[in-house]
A = this chain, B = another copy of it.
Amino acid sequence: MILINGEARSEISAMDRGLAYGDGIFRTFPARQGQPLSWRRHYAKLAHDAGVLKLAMPEADVLESEVRAVCKDHGACAVKIVLTRGAGPRGYRYAGDERPTRIVSAGPLPAEAIENRSRGVKVRLCSLRLAAQPALAGVKHLNRLENVLARAEWQDPQIAEGILCDDQGHVISGTMTNIFIAVDGALATPGLDRCGVAGVTRERVMQAAEPNGISCMVTTLSWTDVQGADEVFLVNSLAGAWPVRDLNGEARVPGAMTRAVQQWLDVEDDA
């Protein structure tokens, strides 16, 4: 089921700026029994990203009712929201009075999103380097060709994710996940002020660390830091936390810290 500006439809204008320029943002997150999980966080993140691009944001209750409508007939599903600047004439300039396009849809929750939590994942290091664009860093916008190119680097279905470095060789994220390492009982995750997407689940882990007595540092990570870590795990809203059990061919043991983080994420999130 797809709702486009609240109507059950499956198509958008070919003149939409979301298509022409990737002029928009999106979110993907799970729902259970018709209830979107961490909804307030996802709305807040969408609003933040809309602010960066100066997109008009739909009212919270309108958007929430559309989200609930698309997932009401599913037990568990993946909800996707796309918000674009809407249709406009040719040219990069926008007038500011465009009518945004919002696309709310639900699809199946991939089985491996859950299964990988217990069995862990095999990951590889991608050769594509993320470009540094501070004006867009952290935002989940529709300009995702880097992710598409990186994901096209491997075909092996046993490999669940690829790790991306930036132009300076620092580790930033997976193609669709954020990355954490555990070293000596503390967590660390890369800063995302030059590139990458500052996801909601990354934020949840960072915020849950302190009340659980664990320090979590946002820092610069090299590939050597990741290789030398006690544990490595990957997070996103659908995946939760995936322990890495094979890092570019090197066997790893999913550990206690990753299991603890999974428990933090299992706690109902009303934030």
| Contact A91–B176 (Cβ < 8 Å) | yes
With contact pairs A14-B4, A105-B14, A131-B133 given, residues A148 and B23 touching in the complex (Cβ less than 8 Å): yes
The smallest beta-carbon distance between A162 and chain B, in angstroms, is: 10
Q: Among B93, B131, B148, point to the contact of A151 (Cβ < 8 A).
A: B93
Could you tell me which A residues sit within 8 Å of B by CB distance? Answer: 2, 4, 9-23, 26, 28, 53-54, 78, 80, 82, 84, 89-94, 103, 105, 107, 128, 131-133, 135-136, 141-152, 167, 175-176, 195
Copies of this chain in the oligomer:
2
Establish whether residues A12 and B14, one from each chain, have CB atoms under 8 Å apart when the complex forms.
yes
What are 6 A-B pairs at a CB distance below 8 A? A11-B11, A94-B148, A94-B152, A131-B131, A131-B133, A142-B145
Knowing that A12-B14, A23-B148, A90-B107 touch, tell me 10 more A-B residue pairs with CB under 8 angstroms: A2-B14, A11-B11, A20-B26, A21-B144, A22-B22, A23-B145, A53-B149, A92-B176, A93-B151, A143-B144
